[in-house]
Chains A and B, each alone.
Chain A
Amino acid sequence: MKLSHEKIREKRRISTKHKIVLWVVFALFLIYAFTIIYPFVWATLTSLRDRDSFGLNPLAFPDKFMWSNYVRIFDLFIVNGVGLGNMFFNSIVYTALGTLFSTVSSTVAAYCIGKYKFHGKNLLYSIAIFTMIIPVVGAMPATYQLLTRINFKDNLVLISLLWGSGFGFNFLLLFGFFKSISWSYAEAAHVDGAGHFRVFWSVMLPQAKPALIAVAIITSIGVWNDYLTPFLYLENMPTLSYGLYEFEITARMEREYPLLFAGIMISTLPLLIIFIAFQKTIIENTVAGGLKG
């Protein structure tokens, strides 16, 4: 197709306009980004300050860098008798198990419902959608009573089982993913005599790896930062998120704000590093399709 001069001029006009719009948006983005970054810069600097000089002027630049805050915090950040080191450990166990249960459970559910035909398949799909879009707010007291009765409280392993629902948002992400990948390799493997487990494990899962990584990372962020569950059920096994909440009260009383901010930094850094490392995988593979059924 040959473009007329007029069309070309029109196109050029639009592209200049595009550029102006993009630069205006850039400026707005910069302002928003500043409001996100500034608190962190401030927190980082504050975490290195001396308690008394912070008290005099919370906004000032540190006059000397108190790296010792990051050592002292290991002695002073204690919640319900548990120190920072142990809280870190609890957070890692809780996150690893919660992520594992959630990812495995939603993977198998999404795979079976997405790739097999069987009785009850539609029922299971409807349940998955229903439980996701109708969160029952009033179930909290009953859940609490149940978990107290069966002695789940303060048990990291058992409490992380709460994350093992196969029918949440992760199900939706993975269901869409499994639907979209072809069954032809699996068919070929079946013809070659591979069983269902083998096909699942060696043919389908490798293809799903990027999506699984994305889901696992997003889940792990949620579990690591979860404070509502630890608040209720892990009082004597505090994770970092919950510990930080409790520590704030102590820190406020003793005016140890720099230590509090050091704690914030310690709880934040691991996730930030993981996210930046896996950014591309996450953004390319986190696809939520429509809700049907």
Chain B
Amino acid sequence: MLAKTKNKVYKTIFLGLMLAFPIAHFLVFWLYVNFDALLLAFKQEMNGELFYSLNNFKRLFTELSIRDSNIFLYLRNTLLFFPAGTFIGLPLSILFSYFLYKKVPGSKFFRVVFFMPSIISAVALTMLFRYVVTTTGPLGKLQEILRISPAIDFLGDEKYAIWTILFYSVWVSFGYNIVLLSSAMGRIPTEIFEAGEIDGVGMRTEFFRFVVPMIWPTISTLIILGVANMFNVIGPVLLMTGGTKDTGTLALYIYNQVKYANENVYGYATAVGLFFTVILLPVVYGVKYLLEKVGQDVQY
């Protein structure tokens, strides 16, 4: 009896020490910060007096109801990234991984090359991309050869800038997805395919009937993370145009307020962020629920 209690105490001490850091980190950098953000969104200062109001949210609704307000534009731009990533980028990644898995000639080489955009600093990569697409760069040269005149300025023209950034973000997005999907495919027991081939199954059937269901947990995780990061679009826009040329996004707006504006606008920026997080919450859990319904969790 005594030994058992002693054992339990040891276990508790062990778990306490092990989990101390992650829990402390969560309490400070997640719980405290978000609680603070909640206060910040409602806090208002007038004549040196602090009080709480809904003004920031009222302002947000007003701006959202105006068709050509900045926030409306940021929202539209932000919402373009999720479908680009999930409905174009992800299926392509799955196909890429499948063909690498089927040992396309040179698959070892392609594996490294396809991951390169994920290794290279986004700062460097966007820089290269920008020089490639300018009118004086390689793409400009190509337009000259094709006699497209006046040459399209892909990032300098409001009409094209956001689409160019979207294209870029899909173009460089395959790396991690391929690693995760390839790793999942690598774990599919090969007996399944051997049986499949004897039955005279073509590639398409193999892909849709065997591979996709077997790696469904990974796919659904990637979809959920895509939904989750829907409002979290900063990187490529910041580095490509800094949000000029009508390319701003919500998260970049918040980021720029923190970086360049003074503290009295933090309340509104926070309110914008919180509002969309609250909207996102049921969406993420809804999608998660649906994806669990669609595919059963395969264990192997």
Out of B15, B104, B137, which one reaches A25, CB within 8 Å? B104
Q: Which of A36-44, A65-73, A79-87 is found at the contact surface with chain B?
A: A36-44
Task: Report A88-138 residues with CB < 8 Å from chain B CB.
Answer: 104-106, 108-109, 111-112, 116, 118, 124, 127, 131-138
Q: Which 8 A-B pairs have the closest CB atoms?
A: A138-B273, A166-B22, A290-B217, A196-B14, A141-B266, A137-B273, A142-B37, A138-B274
Chain A interface mostly helix, strand, loop or mixed?
helix
How many angstroms between the C-alpha atoms of A270 and B250 in the bound complex?
Answer: 34
Q: B255 and A228: CB pair below 8 A?
A: yes
* B11 → chain A closest CB, angstroms: 6
* A107 → chain B closest CB, angstroms: 9
1/0 contact string of B174-186 vs chain A (CB within 8 Å): 0010011011101
How many angstroms between the C-alpha atoms of A162 and B34 in the bound complex?
Answer: 15
How many angstroms between the C-alpha atoms of A95 and B12 in the bound complex?
Answer: 33
Residues of B within 8 A of A268 (CB): 119-121, 124
> Which B residue sits closest to A10, measured CB to CB?
B200
Residues of B within 8 A of A109 (CB): 19, 22
1/0 contact string of B1-38 vs chain A (CB within 8 Å): 00000000011101100110111011001101110110
> Which B residue sits closest to A289, measured CB to CB?
B217
Q: B255 and A22: CB pair below 8 A?
A: no
Q: B221 and A264: CB pair below 8 A?
A: no
Q: A59 and B141: CB pair below 8 A?
A: yes
Q: Which of B64-72, B83-91, B107-115, B153-161 is found at the contact surface with chain A?
A: B107-115
Out of B30, B120, B218, which one reaches A271, CB within 8 Å? B120
Residues of B within 8 A of A146 (CB): 32-33, 36
Q: B266 and A145: CB pair below 8 A?
A: yes
Interface residues on B, range: 35 or more
Q: B116 and A29: CB pair below 8 A?
A: no
How many angstroms between the C-alpha atoms of A212 and B134 in the bound complex?
Answer: 42
1/0 contact string of B93-119 vs chain A (CB within 8 Å): 000100100111110011111111111
* A199 → chain B closest CB, angstroms: 9
6 CB contacts below 8 A, A to B, read A109-B22, A131-B26, A144-B266, A240-B121, A264-B121, A275-B115
Residues of A within 8 A of B255 (CB): 140, 228, 232
How many angstroms between the C-alpha atoms of A101 and B190 in the bound complex?
Answer: 38
Q: A29 and B110: CB pair below 8 A?
A: yes
Chain B interface mostly helix, strand, loop or mixed?
helix
Residues of A within 8 A of B29 (CB): 143, 162, 165
Q: B269 and A106: CB pair below 8 A?
A: no
- Which residues of A are in contact with B by a Cβ distance under 8 Å? 1, 3, 7, 10-11, 14, 17-18, 21-23, 25-26, 29-30, 32-33, 35-40, 42-43, 58-59, 104-106, 108-109, 111-112, 116, 118, 124, 127, 131-146, 161-162, 164-167, 169, 172, 195-197, 200, 218, 221, 224-225, 227-228, 231-232, 240-242, 244-245, 248, 260, 264, 267-268, 271-272, 275-276, 279, 282-292
Q: A244 and B228: CB pair below 8 A?
A: no
Q: B228 and A133: CB pair below 8 A?
A: yes
- Taking A118-B15, A248-B127 as given, write out 4 further A-B residue pairs in contact, using a Cβ cutoff of 8 Å, ordered by the A residue number: A1-B198, A146-B33, A232-B258, A276-B112
Q: B229 and A135: CB pair below 8 A?
A: yes
Residues of B within 8 A of A144 (CB): 258, 266
Residues of A within 8 A of B217 (CB): 288-290
Q: B137 and A58: CB pair below 8 A?
A: yes
> Which A residue sits closest to B267, measured CB to CB?
A141
* B266 → chain A closest CB, angstroms: 4
Q: B136 and A165: CB pair below 8 A?
A: no
> Which B residue sits closest to A251, measured CB to CB?
B127
Q: B118 and A221: CB pair below 8 A?
A: yes
Asked whether A287 and B180 contact (CB < 8 A) given A138-B37, A167-B26, A225-B122, the answer is yes
